[in-house]
Amino acid sequence: MLVNTRRFSLVILLLLGLAAVTACGGGGSDSSDSSGTVTAPTITTQPSSQTVTAGSAASFTVTASGSGTLSYQWYKASSAISGATSSTYTIASTATSDAGSYYVTVSNSGGTTTSSTVTLTVSSSDTASCDTTYVDSVLSAVSTFEAALGSSLTASTLYSDSSYSSSQLNVYKTNWSNLPPGAISFSRPGITLAEVSTSSQISAFNALAKVALSSAGYADFQGVIAADDYLGYTKNANGYGADLYHVAFIGTPSQTGSWTLMLGGHHMAFNINFNGACAYPTPHHIGVEPRTAFTANDHTSYSFYDSGTYTVLADKAAAMVAIFSSMSSSELTSAFLSGQTFSDVLIGPVEANTGSYANVTTKFNAIASSSDRGLLVSSLSTTQQALVMAAIEQFTDDYDSTTASRLLSDYEADYGSTYVAWANASGSVSSSGPDVSANGTYMRVDGPRVWMEIAVQNGVVISGQTHYHMIYRDKTYDYYNQLSN
């Protein structure tokens, strides 16, 4: 049988051509493993946290590898950022409202991989206007106090950055609580006021508190301590009293470094964080029992508060109530956290004794992703917005005027993303609004940075009466953003 050599040659050439095409990649598998299955992308370089000044640019970048086309989506908290769909996300001009947590997802046909969460810290453009007047006054009072204490007691108050690691100092910073000493599993740092016993020591301590706080803050400070003495010695409650309060310095006090003045005890945590000339006075917890008027007792010779009659924190509660009293019935309903009840402040000392901010971040992220955060301040009238500002001022004005002004300016600029909300014990809206005489009443201000809560509880020592727990946080500058996440 004759073979057509020409046709045979053409067949051979076609087969060789197909082999050549295959060898160059045509018809090859798109899989990333031997089974032919496309796997999710791998992130090889995670984005990094950043600190920028308001008005400057911020940029996050992720590097990923994987088969096929990779797609990206950036998120702030748990909300997808519109148009942020490349490997780099840039904010050309940051505002304080841009501060928060960010992450990105990278996807292909095999699945989705999520990056680590990073933090954008936006320092106020007003930070540069901080001067050394306040910190110099505090440092002078610290020196006088230490001289009065003597070397041994001074050593017990001071946790210097030359003797402790950053992680150790961070743990000490978080050692505050809204509970009496016997109800917590750790010791508050520093010395107790029982150890501040001579007249010169007491005078120097009171002078330090007066300088570190404004007149309003010092009035709160005295009132809370007086109330604890009232519980301990008028009502004979074990574990209560002024002598159980603490003072400590975390880090080395200086005009240029970062350090913290802690004044605290049951129902009190003044955590004033200094960074150079600027102060960052959060987290700040304060509370009081009894809620109504009481007369201070004089059980010892200690002089950490004035004699007389006190009604503590009533101005803070009244300012918050005034916001909701100004609302129409529809606004009151919109601001109500339907179905939610609160037995205490939501974000109290959840980071206590950890040195980490992770527990706080988790709670803030959950709130940010919630469909019900209350009523936007920007939807309120100018008069009502002034009431919101007045309520915020009740907390910021516990500190020096320069610090308060800087904070208020930033918080007011964020009204477009700031909410006010309230709740009660039933979880169902009431036309009468918040009632501070009722257990379970709850009010808050929730902004990109500012966070303030007031929770009303039944009395622990005094039955038949409610008492307050309050918290003030700055989501960007708690502990001057020095804690690990």
Is 37 a domain residue?
Answer: no
Is 12 a domain residue?
Answer: no
Asked whether residue 73 falls in the same domain as residue 134, the answer is: no
Is 185 a domain residue?
Answer: yes
CA 315 – CA 216 distance, rounded (Å): 10
Calculate the CA dihedral of residues 460, 202, 301, 263 and round it to 10 degrees. Answer: 0
Note whether 292 and 308 are within 8 A (CB): no
Note whether 124 and 404 are within 8 A (CB): no
DSSP state string for 428-444: S--TT---TTSTT-EEE
Asked whether residue 89 falls in the same domain as residue 166, the answer is: no
Is 24 a domain residue?
Answer: no
Closest C-alpha to 106, from 75, 145, 149, 133: 75
Residue 56, Cβ neighbours under 10 Å: how many?
13
Note whether 397 and 214 are within 8 A (CB): yes
Residue 480, Cβ neighbours under 10 Å: how many?
23
User: Looking at residue 173, what DSSP letter applies?
Assistant: H
pLDDT number for residue 428: 96
Calculate the CA dihedral of residues 125, 129, 132, 135 and round it to 10 degrees. Answer: -50
DSSP E strand stretches across 142-293: 158-159, 191-192, 246-250, 258-265, 268-275, 278-280, 284-288
Asked whether residue 225 falls in the same domain as residue 285, the answer is: yes
Asked whether residue 161 falls in the same domain as residue 111, the answer is: no
Q: Which of 77, 98, 123 represents a domain boundary (last residue)?
A: 123
Q: Which of 97, 123, 149 represents a domain boundary (last residue)?
A: 123
Asked whether residue 217 falls in the same domain as residue 85, the answer is: no
Is 456 a domain residue?
Answer: yes
Q: How far is CA 46 from CA 25, 309, 387, 424, in A?
A: 32, 58, 43, 43
Asked whether residue 314 falls in the same domain as residue 393, the answer is: yes
Is 64 a domain residue?
Answer: yes
Each residue's pLDDT tens digit, 332-389: 999 999 999 999 999 999 999 999 999 999 999 999 999 999 999 999 999 999 999 9
Asked whether residue 217 falls in the same domain as residue 92, the answer is: no
Asked whether residue 104 falls in the same domain as residue 161, the answer is: no
pLDDT number for residue 35: 59
* Average pLDDT of adjacent 10-residue blocks, the chain of 485 residues: 42 37 36 68 89 78 93 90 94 80 92 89 62 94 98 97 95 95 94 95 97 97 95 91 96 95 97 95 97 84 83 98 98 97 97 97 94 96 97 97 94 95 97 96 97 97 95 97 86
Is 10 a domain residue?
Answer: no
Is 296 a domain residue?
Answer: yes
Coil, helix or strand for 347? Answer: coil
Q: Which of 64, 95, 123 represents a domain boundary (last residue)?
A: 123
CA 267 – CA 48 distance, rounded (Å): 37
CA 474 – CA 203 distance, rounded (Å): 32
pLDDT number for residue 36: 67
pLDDT number for residue 252: 96
pLDDT number for residue 297: 81
Closest C-alpha to 283, from 205, 359, 382: 359
Note whether 188 and 264 are within 8 A (CB): yes
Asked whether residue 360 falls in the same domain as residue 376, the answer is: yes
Asked whether residue 114 falls in the same domain as residue 165, the answer is: no
pLDDT number for residue 70: 95
Look up the domain containing 56 and give its range.
42-123
Structurally, the chain folds into a number of domains equal to 2
Note whether 161 and 252 are within 8 A (CB): yes
Q: What is the CATH number of the domain that holds 60?
A: 2.60.40.10
Asked whether residue 286 falls in the same domain as residue 374, the answer is: yes
Coil, helix or strand for 376? Answer: strand
Asked whether residue 95 falls in the same domain as residue 154, the answer is: no
